[in-house]
Amino acid sequence: MANKHNPVRIGWTGFFFEKKQRSFRKMANDSNPTLLDVRGEICPYPMLRTNKELDNSEQPLTALDVLTDHPPALSTIPPEAMKRGYGCEIEEMEAGEWKIRLFKPE
């Protein structure tokens, strides 16, 4: 059982998430990130749609906010984004719903 003193381990990647958020790299300032809403979708689609958005942008994205309600996406999207040079920050918006902010580090 997780509480504010015990982080929750999600998935197999070894990332640990506190209740609110955890940053993996220093975030660049971007006041207008692109939004990708994958709520209601299950694996592998949240990761595939995120990868497509990161790879197929006409202009390189400086920040992408991915909204998800699928817990396994928290352990699949960050490592794939990091392979592409993006940092990651995860915030729990409400119970069972997260925003994954992907960004180019400063």
Domain with 54, as residue range(s), is: 35-106
Split into its structural domains, the chain has a count of 1
18 within some domain: no
What count of other Cβ atoms lies within 10 Å of the Cβ of residue 85?
11
Whether 16 maps to a domain, the answer reads: no
Asked whether residue 75 is assigned to any structural domain, the reply reads: yes
Q: Could you tell me which of 97, 105, 101 has the C-alpha nearest to residue 89?
A: 101
Report pLDDT for 16: 42
pTM to 2 decimals?
Answer: 0.72
For residues 25 and 60, the model is more confident at 60
Q: Is residue 74 part of a domain?
A: yes
Higher pLDDT, 12 or 72: 72
